[in-house]
Amino acid sequence: EFVPNNGGSSWDKANGNSNYILSRPGLWKLDSGRLENLQDQPAPKISPPLDGGTGGTDNGRQQAPSAPVASAPLAPAPAAAPRPAPAPMPITDARTVEVALSQLTSVEATQGIVLLYRSAWAAPHLHCREIGATWTSMPGLPIPRAGKALITDFEAGAGGNQEDESALFAVHLPTCSSLEFVINDGGPQHFRWDKAAGGANFSLANKGVFLISGGRLEKVVPPPPAPSRPTISSASKTSVSLTWPAIQGSVRGYRVWRDGALLTTVAGGRTSYMDSGLLASHEYAYTVSAVSSQGAQGPSSEAALGKTEAAGAPGMPEGLRVASASPKAVQLEWCCPTDTGGAPVTAYMIMRDGKALKTVAAVDASAQTAKNTWSDTSVKDGTTYSYSVTALHLPPEKDELRKTILRAREKLLAPKEKDFLLSIPAALNASPPAGPLEVQAVDELEVGTCSKDLKEQLKLKGITIYYKTSWQAAYAHCCTKAELGWTALPGVELTQSPTLAFPANEGWFVLYLPNARHLEFVLNDGKQAFDKLPGGQNYSVPFGGVLRINHGHLDRVALPPQVPLDLAAEAVGGSRISLTWRAPQVAEGEAPLAGFKVFRNGRVVCNCEGGATNTRFIDKNLFAFTDYEYSVAAVNNQGVNGPLSVAVPVKTDLPGPPSEPRNVRACVRKEAAKIRIHLEWEPPADCGGAPVAAYEVLRDGIVVSSVEVPTSRLRSEAEACQPMDPEAAGERRWIRSSCSYSQLSWFNDALEWSDEDVVDGESYSYQVRAVQLGPDRVDDVREGGLMQRCGSRFLENVLPDVVGPASSPAEVRAVPFLDIPRLGEQRPIIMFQAFDWGSCKAESWYTILLGLLPELRTAGVNMMWLPPPSDSVDEHGYLPRKWYNLDNHYGSAGALHRLVHALHAQEIVPMLDVVVNHRCASLQDSAGRWLKFEEPDWEGWAICCDSPAIPGGTGSRCTGEPAQYAPSIDHQNPKVRDDVNGYIRYMMEEVGFRALRFDFVKGYSPHFQRDYVRAAGSPFAVAENWNGDPNGLHQYVRECQGAMAVYDFPVYYTLKGAVHSNNFEALNEGGRPCGIMGRDPARSVTFIDNHDTYQLAIVGGAFGNNDQVLRAYAYILTHPGTPCVFHYDYVRAPYVREKLLQLCGIRRDAGIHSTSQINICASNWGLYAAIIGNKVAMKMGTNDWSPGNGWKFACGGSEFAVWIRG
C-alpha cells in the first residue's frame, strides 16, 4: 500500500483520494493515476483509504497519509498464485429513519443496524462494508437527515443548544449484522473524513442502534423516564419559580416547557428554574423532560400551573435626555422602564412646565431597549422649558389614543377574553415621572462667525476655541450636555481662523459656538488622528469664554498685547536695516509679553523671543537701493499677537562686499578610474546688497577656478524687487514681499565644482569666496526686459571687482572611495564589528578606531561594520532621530568623516548600520505626541497606524512585527521610501560607506529591503534576521530575491552547543555545513558574538571562555560564508587577539572566500575536521586528527589546530 509524493506537500493518490494497493508481487507501471501490471497480469483492485484519510474527532480537519515505507529492490515475479474467492457484494440497501426513538427497539432486535450521526456537513456519506465484504464505491452511501420524530427526540436535546449548527442524520442498514465504516463529507474534490480516535475505522460486530458523535461510537440507550410533576415555589408580577425532583440515573440536563413551548435546557445538576418577563395576572402551565447523556429526550412530566400576581404601577422611564434642541423644536428621547409592573407600557404622558402636553404611544411595548422619541415644535427661540415623562399602562379615559390602543390589542385576544389592562386600578396605571429636564430652545452646537478682532471676540457670549495644528482639516467630536449626547464622528468642523491674533497661515483653526455654555470635546483630523489632553483625557470647557489649544494645552485667552511704541528703522549699508522700538505696557487682563514679531512689507521675517526687553533687530541680506517698510507686533506668552505698529519706511544704501560662502565641504570621488575632489557650498549669509555673480575657488591659497552664477538666477534677483502690480504700489503689495536674498527659492541651493587636477594620496585645502555682479555682465541681466521698481538701482550702480572674504578651509586627502563590494565575490572578505555595547561611553570612539586600522588591515580584515551614525535618543544609536545629524555618542561628524576616509586609505570597506525600521521624533506635535520628525521632516503620516510605541500614527498598518520601543515607520508611503533611499545614497556617496547592514528586518516587509539595496547599487548587504531556523532564513533570502545576506544564527546556535558539549555531529548535515553556510554560503555571515548576544541572558549570554571562543573562530575563519570578528573578542585577551590575527591572515593568504569548497572529514563526539578549498585544514575537539602528508601546521590552541598546504 503506498502513496507517491514529491518529498514536500504534494501527493499523488488514486481516484477517489484512495491509496494505491498492490495485492501481489510483480512489475507495475503507474502513469497519470493508472496502475497496470507489465507482466500482463490483471491490475489490482484499488481499495478504500482504511488509514490514509483524515481521522480523529474533528470532522473539518484533513491530515496527510502515513509516510510510505521504502520498497525493496525489484525481484523476479513469482509464479501466478491461485486467485482468492470473490468477496461478498458491497452494501446497497440503505433507508431513511422516520420513526421516533422509542420505536427503534424493534429495529434493534431484528432489522439490522441503525446509525445516528450528528454533523455540520451538508451531505455526509457512509463509506462502509460488512466485515470481510467489499467496500462501497467512493464516497459511499448518502446518510439522509433524520425524520421529524427522531429529530424531536435528539435535535434540541444535544448539549442544550438549540442554535447548534450541526444536524442529525440517520441511516438504516436492514441487511447488515456487522459493519466497518468511515464517514466523509461527500467530496467530490477533496474529502474530509470522520474516523475513530487514533485514525482507525469505526467497527460494529452486532446489530443495534448506534450514535456517532465527536469521534465516539456508542450504542443508543433508551431515553430517561419522565420527571415528577414540578412544584411552583413562588410567583411575582412578572415571574414564576418552579422546582422538580431529580430522576435516577445519568442525565445531561432537563428541558423546561411553558404552555407546550420549549423555554430552556438546564444542566443535569440543576432541578429548579425561574421564568421571568411574564405578564401579571396570568396562569401558565409548566412541564419538565429529562435529556440523556447521548442527547435523547424522554417524556414530559405532568403539568404544574403557576399564576403571576396582579399588575402594579410601571417604573420610571429610563434614559430621558434631549436628543436635539433648536429655536424651532426640542426633541426628547427615552426608553421603556426596566420594571413594567407586570403589564405592558403602551403610552407615555409628556409634561412641560408641570402641565400635560401630549400623550404618545410607546414604540414597542415588548422591547425595553427601544428608544422613544418626541419633538416639541411649539417652542420659542431662547426660551427655557422643563420636561418630564410618565409611563402608562393605558392612556387616560378621554384620550383618543386609549381607544386606538385597545382596538389594536383586541385583535390579539381570544374570543370573549377580556383585556387585563382594563382591570388595573387607576392608581397603578402611571409611573413616577422621569425628569424634570431643563432645556433651552437653542442649538448649542450652532456654529457662529468669528471676529477678526480678538478684543471683539472676547466680548461675545458662548464658547470660542482656537486650535493650532498641522492637519489639513480639524473637527471637534463634542458634547454640550450629557442628555444631548455626542455628535456623530468626526463632529463639527473647525474653520480657518480669521482673527489676526491667531493667523490661519500659522496653522490656527477656530470653532465658535455662541449658544454653548459647557463643552466636552476631542479634536480629530476627520480620519484616524485624534488629539486629547495628556493622559488621554477629553478636553473640557465648564463655562463660556475664549480658549486656545496648542501642543495639548488648553488655556483661556487673555486680552491681546498693545501696540509697540517708537519704532525706528536705519539703513546699515546696502544689505542691512537696524530696527529699534519700545515695549508697550501690560494692562490688567493682559498676559505677560513673550517677545515681538517683525514684519517686512507685511510679512513676518523674525520672531524676537526674550520677553519685553528684546527690542532690537537687524534685518540682513537685503537688496541695495531698495525701499522697505517695517512694522512690529507684540506677542504674549500665549502666542497671541497684538496689533501692528505704524509702518516705518526705509531705504538701503550702497552695496558692500558679500560675506564668506557657507558650508564649504569637500569629498573624494572616483569616476572612470579617475580621482577628483568634489566641492559643494552655499551662498553667503549676506550678499552685501548686490547679486553674487561668481565664486572663486582657492586651492592651497591660490585661485584655481571661477564658478559663474547663471544669468537666469541674477534676473530673478532683480525681478524680486518688483511690486505685484504697478498700480498697487500704494498698498505695498510685493510679489516677493520679503525682498531679501535669503527668501529667494534658490538661495539655499548648493553650488558645486570638481577639481580633477589632483594627485593620489596628496592633501589639499580648499576655500571659496563670493564675487558680486560686475559691469561686464550687467547687459546680460538687462536683456531679460527687466523693469526695476521700488527705487532699486543696483543694475546702474554695480562696481567692478567686489570680492568677499574666503570661507574657512576644507581639508581633504585625495584618497578615492573603494569600489562597492558584492555578495558572492570569490575573494576573501573578513568583516570586523567595530563596537560593542560599551563603546559609546568613550570620549571619541571613532578616534580610538583609527589606531586599530593598520593592524587589522595587515591581518586581512577588509570590511568594518560601524555603529549607527545618526543622532539618536539612546546612546547606542539604535533609536535614531535626525538621520542627517552625524554627531552622536561615538564621536562628532568630523571624526566620522576622518575615520571613513582612513578606512578607504587602508582599503577597508566601511559598512553602514541602516536603522530604518523605526525612528524617534525630535518634537511633539500639536496634540503633545512625539510625532514630529526632523532631517528628514515627517509627521504622524509617516508612522504606522498600529505602531504600539507612540499611538497616533496615521500611516498604513505595519508590514512586519511592530517595534515596541519606538514608532514603526510606514514603508508603504512613497515619501518615506524616497527619504530612506536618499539617506542611504547620501551616506554612501557623500560620507563614503560602501556596504550595508540592515537592523531588525522583521519589522517591515522584505521586498522594501530588497528595493533599498537595489536603489543603492546592490552593494554587499546583510540583514539582522534573528532566526535560528535555517528554513526561515532561507525563505527570507528568497523573498529578498538574493539581494540580502543574513547573519547565520543557525550556525551560531549549533556551533555554540557543539563547542560546549564536545559533540560536533550537528555541524554536518549530509556532508554539508549546517545553517545557511551549507545552503547558500554566499549569503551567510557567520559570527561568534555581537553587541546583542554577548550581553543578553535570554540567548545564554556570551559564547564562552577564551579557549572556546578561539575554537569557534578557528571554525568560521576557515569555512565558507563571510566571517565577522567581534571587537569585544578582539580585545578580550592578548593571546586571543594574537590568534585571531593569525587566523585572519591564514584566510587571506589561502584565498578562502564565501563559496569555497569544503570536505567534512569527521563530525562526531570529540572531533570535527574539514578541508576547505583544498588549501586549509582544521580540526577541533578532544580527539586527535591530522590531514596527512603535504600539510604544514599554521596555528593552534586549546583543542583546535589549523594547517595549510605545505
Give the other-Cβ count within 10 Å of 484's Cβ.
19
Whether the CB-CB separation of 317 and 300 falls below 8 Å is answered with: no
| Residue length of the chain | 1206
456 phi, psi to nearest 5 deg: -70, -40
From CA 910, how far away is CA 907, in angstroms rounded? 9
Tell me the three state secondary structure of residue 770. Answer: strand
Q: Which grid coordinates belong to 321?
A: 435626555
- Using CA atoms, how far residue 477 sits from 445, 492, 513, 524, in Å, is 11, 6, 13, 7
State yes or no: cis peptide before 139, omega within 30 of 0.
yes
Whether the CB-CB separation of 385 and 350 falls below 8 Å is answered with: no
From CA 245, how far away is CA 227, in angstroms rounded? 7
Whether the CB-CB separation of 449 and 512 falls below 8 Å is answered with: yes
Q: Which grid coordinates belong to 444?
A: 448649542
From CA 769, how far away is CA 706, in angstroms rounded? 10
Whether the CB-CB separation of 1123 and 1116 falls below 8 Å is answered with: yes
- Which of 1024, 1048, 1069, 1080 is an active site residue? 1024
User: If you search the block for the grid coordinates 540583514, which residue do you land on?
Assistant: 1023
Quick one: DSSP state of residue 210? Answer: E
From CA 861, how far away is CA 855, in angstroms rounded? 9
From CA 426, how far away is CA 312, in angstroms rounded? 10
> Does residue 31 have an active-site annotation?
no
Give the other-Cβ count within 10 Å of 131's Cβ.
13
From CA 915, how far away is CA 965, in angstroms rounded? 13
Residue 338: name the closest of 321, 315, 365, 319 by CA.
315
Which of left, alpha, beta for 418 (phi over 0: left; psi -120 to 50: alpha)?
Answer: beta
Question: Which own/partner pairs from 269-275 qualify as long-range (CB within 8 Å, at least 24 positions apart)?
Answer: 271/243, 271/244, 271/245, 271/246, 272/233, 272/241, 272/242, 272/243, 272/244, 273/241, 273/242, 274/239, 274/240, 274/241, 274/242, 275/239, 275/240, 275/241, 275/242, 275/306
> Does residue 999 have an active-site annotation?
yes
Whether the CB-CB separation of 697 and 707 falls below 8 Å is answered with: yes
Side chain identity, residue 757: D
From CA 838, how far away is CA 712, in angstroms rounded? 54
1046: CB partners within 8 A, 6+ apart? 1022, 1023, 1025, 1033, 1036, 1037, 1076, 1083, 1084, 1085
* H helices, E strands: number in the chain: 17, 65
Side chain identity, residue 1021: A
From CA 486, how far away is CA 804, in angstroms rounded? 66
Tell me the three state secondary structure of residue 853. Answer: helix
Whether the CB-CB separation of 976 and 942 falls below 8 Å is answered with: yes
- Which of 999, 1039, 1107, 1149 is an active site residue? 999
From CA 1127, how far away is CA 1172, in angstroms rounded? 26
**What torsion do the CA atoms of 989, 994, 999, 1002 make, to the nearest 10 degrees?**
90
Residues designated as active site: 999, 1024
